[in-house]
Amino acid sequence: MSIEEFIDNEVKSNDVVLFMKGTPQFPQCGFSGQVVQILDHLGVGYKGLNVLESAELRNGIKVYSNWPTIPQLYVKGEFVGGCDIVREMFQAGELQQLFSDKGVAVNAAA
C-alpha cells in the first residue's frame, strides 16, 4: 500500500482524523496541541496520526491535501484545515456546526 493509499484509507474510514505532530495524549507542537484541546473540549472522537513517526507520512499528507503545514484535520473525508482555521471555526461556532452537519457527535455542553 502506498502512502497516498494509506492516507486516503485513514481519511475515508474514520469520521474525524487529525494528522499531527505527536499524539493526542502528548502533542509535540503547540499548533497540534491547540487542535487537540479544541477536539477534546468538544468531546469529539477522533484518530490522531503522528507524522513525526514517518517522514513518508509527514510529506505524504502535505501532498495529499496540497496544504503545507501540520496539523491537518479531516471530517468525514473532507479536509477542514490547520490550526488557525480550526481555531477560528471553533471560536465562530462553525466547527461545532460542521460536526453537527456531518453527523459527528459533540459534547452538548461545548
Binding site: which residues?
29
- CATH homologous superfamily of 3-102 equals Glutaredoxin (3.40.30.10)
Check pLDDT > 60 for residue 98.
yes
Mean pLDDT of the chain: 96
Per-residue pLDDT tens digits for 73-97 = 999 999 999 999 999 999 999 999 9
Q: What is the mean pLDDT of residues 32-56?
A: 97
What pLDDT does residue 77 have? 97
- Sorted by where each begins, the domain ranges of the chain are 3-102
Q: Residues forming the annotated binding site for [2Fe-2S] cluster? A: 29
SS3 call for 21 = coil
